[in-house]
Structure 1
Amino acid sequence: MTTAATMLAGQEKGREEFERAEARTAHNYHPLPVVVASAEGAWMTDVEGRRYLDLLAGYSALNFGHGHPGLVAAAHAQLDHLTLTSRAFVHDRFADFCAELGDLCGKELVLPMNTGAEAVETAIKVARKWGYEVKGVPADRARIVVAAGNFHGRTTTIVGFSDDPDARDGFGPFAPGFVTVPFGDLAALEAAIDDDTVAVLIEPIQGESGVLIPPDGYLHGVRDLCTTSGVLFVADEIQAGLGRTGATFACDHEEVVPDVYVLGKALGGGIVPVSAVVADRDVLGVLRPGQHGSTFGGNPLACAVGLEVVRMLATGEHQARAAELGVLLRERLDALVGRGVVGVRTRGLWAGVDIDPAIGTGRMVCEALMARGVLAKDTHGSTIRLAPPLVISADDLAWGLDQLADVVSHA
């Protein structure tokens, strides 16, 4: 298998840039040794002028590709007028963004934030406050049920209910109030809910765990349990939402509407960090001035870009494209099972591919793909994740999958 080190031989500028970055950066990431200088659509170009097909799309933050003309135009136009007011004042892009995002979600209120982790933290605070003020849970006893294998962010509260040792170990002590049950297990979820439970927080599809899709009917069951038990269903759609799975939200595949949507990544169009918590007034209405905030949350630039994202999604065009190309993705990956691949999970333009350990690790496969001009990301040792931009052409997607087939079949 060709290694990334072999690829970089002779590419002096790229190697020097990579080593310089690694020398002055905290090693909280283990990036592939490629130094990107520009990008357009589904393609990136490194400092040596070599092009790469992007099959990661910034963990879904680049659902609409690099440098989408409509999103770039929206950002440029806003830069000429106003970029920040803080929430001490209201700016002229705020109302439209909140109203149209709320309409896209079918909810009454929007609370804009910046990063996905910040939105999850916001949802946790809102759920607890709702539990105390609306459900009547005694003070400081609120519990939130989460799923094993979850990935909701990197703050100390969030990693406290992760079971990934890399995310968790060495960062305690952690906040109490979370109960973990197996993902996809409705019986375990039902047993975990008690009088102090205020919310169930889950990803409809677990992306970081390798695009794990729950059993059919699971989301329906979660919805029913939350309704009958009087707890909030909080859906973390940060990676799964906004077109990635061939629907606006992953919950749409079971025609399920959660009480709270947690959104991020693609909402910023790959230009600025934008996130939001979206719910009805009886949930988000528990917050009052001074109880939660963010200096940059809902800033004019973020709202201008986010509003364009919402309007693009409102047409349904990108969701349909993800569903259509997802058929090609699924068929081509299914054909690799038994040929260097031991398992595949897909939903729209999103896939988890389990590499046969006999041929190498997920990292090794990603390095070999990089040598062929394709960029992807490994997770949990033997799995690689594919999340192409929704604007990718069928021919480019097929070419990228050809490279994967060659790598795993000739390893």
Structure 2
Amino acid sequence: MTATDLSASTSELTAAHIATTERYAAHNYHPLPVVLAEGDGAWVIDVDGKRYLDCLAGYSALNFGHSNERLVAVAREQLGRLTLTSRAFFNDRLSGFAEALARLTGKDMILPMNSGAEAVETAIKVSRKWGYEVKGVPAGQASIVTMEGNFHGRTTTIVSFSDDEVATSGYAPFTSGFRRAAYGDIDAVAAAIDETTVAVLFEPIQGEGGVVMPPEGFLRDLRALCTERNVLMVADEIQSGLARSGKTFACDHEDVVPDIYVMGKALGGGIYPVSAIAADHDVMDVITPGSHGSTFGGNPLAAAIGTEVVAMLEEGTFQARAAEIGDQIEAGFRPLVGRGLVDVRVRGAWAGIDIDPALMTGRQMSEALMARGILAKDTHGSTVRFAPPLVASDDDVALLVSAVTEILAGG
């Protein structure tokens, strides 16, 4: 970070934290110049005591807010009992978590991991193994169809099917076995499937792309196509799932059930990394002892937190609140199209806005919001996405809408 990135009002304490971080931590992010120290609900506080409305929510990992009392209580209790056994042994918390998450997804089994990228990698491995052992694809030939504009993580395998030059530059050679189709184009997906195809991996809503949604009916058509062609439908619900879109899963908006759910982020409540895939026996049974694993996957602390997350989701209040937040955001942002905004996309408590590039970049909008006490994140030029915690109040959302309105008006 250069000196020009720091505003004139940046305190010595903030500047010192930033300088030390930049000195000793790799520069794989370009953060806004704010140093956060505390969080409660939808709000965070920096080292100087200034409050900010968090409209990123840890890329939807904090759907239930910062320092959620229920989740913190469960984590504290489990920290004092048992945190890790490895899967070499059973533990008394994984059983309840596995049962609860299977019930939430409507699937027979789950396979717990840690990060979202690990869950995606797991889904890829399960899909390939299913393709060889169940579908009968010749050894070494399994292919997976992915979508243009996708974001599923940053491992070497995952970036192999990314079309983001920043994410891929300098990391070749890449893993083979993937082909991309235009997002939302069912004919393009159908053309990409052949006898070697074992799965179609997709995001019901492309979050990193700026909350991009496919045309209405695409998910239903994709479900029908995968069934017809004997291909697994694999839904990456890491960001879109667990109440963010106003439903438990974004696939629920079209009453579609994929063969594999991929989950992460909010599954750990913003407290601890928890991820998993969920599938029925005919898919998951290809996994056998020693064929896949994780030292921390399914550990007691993760399982305790994940079980409470499922319990909160089963109440339905967070899904309902996300829908209410979305209605308020839509009503506030839609009139701004043609008045500084080129497009607005809202699904539940998740919104992407495309700013007129002649007016400002997404980074400039994010910096202007930060100056007004609101934290958000730009993506892809003049696009900014908003994902406030689902505990945000009507006044919080009104603050966001008014700030964006004022900035676009030059205020």
- Quickly name the TM-score band, shorter chain normalised: over 0.9
Matches within 5 A, 1:192-203: 192-203=192-203
Does the 8 Å CA contact 1:35/1:47 hold for their aligned counterparts?
yes
Matches within 5 A, 1:4-403: 5=5, 7-9=7-9, 11-403=11-403
* CA distance in structure 2 between the aligned counterparts of 1:341 and 1:23, rounded to whole angstroms: 37
Does the 8 Å CA contact 1:109/1:278 hold for their aligned counterparts?
yes
* CA distance in structure 2 between the aligned counterparts of 1:107 and 1:25, rounded to whole angstroms: 40
Amino acid at match of 1:247: K
Amino acid at match of 1:386: F
Runs of 4+ with >2 A deviation: 3-10
How big is the shift at 1:8? 4.7
Kindly provide the CA deviation profile for residues 346-387 of structure 1, in whole angstroms up to 9, marking residues without a partner as x.
Answer: 100001100111111000110010011000000001100100
Kindly provide the CA deviation profile for residues 292-323 of structure 1, in whole angstroms up to 9, marking residues without a partner as x.
Answer: 00000010000011100000000111001101
* CA distance in structure 2 between the aligned counterparts of 1:268 and 1:159, rounded to whole angstroms: 24
Amino acid at match of 2:333: L
1:5 to 1:194, Cα distance in 2 relative to 1, 3 A: closer
* CA distance in structure 2 between the aligned counterparts of 1:391 and 1:101, rounded to whole angstroms: 22
Does the 8 Å CA contact 1:205/1:213 hold for their aligned counterparts?
yes
CA RMSD of aligned residues (A): 1.1
Q: SS at the partner of 2:336?
A: coil
1:41 to 1:134, Cα distance in 2 relative to 1, 3 A: same
* CA distance in structure 1 between the aligned counterparts of 2:4 and 2:146, rounded to whole angstroms: 38
Q: SS at the partner of 1:172?
A: coil
How big is the shift at 1:36? 0.3
* CA distance in structure 1 between the aligned counterparts of 2:221 and 2:5, rounded to whole angstroms: 48
* Long gaps (5+) in structure 1: none
How big is the shift at 1:9? 2.4
1:6 to 1:195, Cα distance in 2 relative to 1, 3 A: closer
Does the 8 Å CA contact 1:337/1:343 hold for their aligned counterparts?
yes
Q: SS at the partner of 2:233?
A: strand
* CA distance in structure 1 between the aligned counterparts of 2:24 and 2:13, rounded to whole angstroms: 17
Q: SS at the partner of 1:37?
A: strand
* CA distance in structure 2 between the aligned counterparts of 1:388 and 1:196, rounded to whole angstroms: 41
Does the 8 Å CA contact 1:57/1:387 hold for their aligned counterparts?
yes
* CA distance in structure 2 between the aligned counterparts of 1:406 and 1:77, rounded to whole angstroms: 45
* CA distance in structure 2 between the aligned counterparts of 1:313 and 1:197, rounded to whole angstroms: 34
* CA distance in structure 1 between the aligned counterparts of 2:251 and 2:80, rounded to whole angstroms: 38
Does the 8 Å CA contact 1:4/1:371 hold for their aligned counterparts?
no
Q: If the length of structure 1 is used for normalisation, what is the TM-score?
A: 0.98
Amino acid at match of 2:271: I
Q: SS at the partner of 1:52?
A: strand
**Matched residue pairs, number?**
409
Kindly provide the CA deviation profile for residues 105-149 of structure 1, in whole angstroms up to 9, marking residues without a partner as x.
Answer: 000000000000000000000000000000000000000000000
How big is the shift at 1:52? 0.3
Kindly provide the CA deviation profile for residues 229-283 of structure 1, in whole angstroms up to 9, marking residues without a partner as x.
Answer: 0010000000000000000000000000000000000000000000001000110
1:10 to 1:113, Cα distance in 2 relative to 1, 3 A: closer
Amino acid at match of 2:366: C
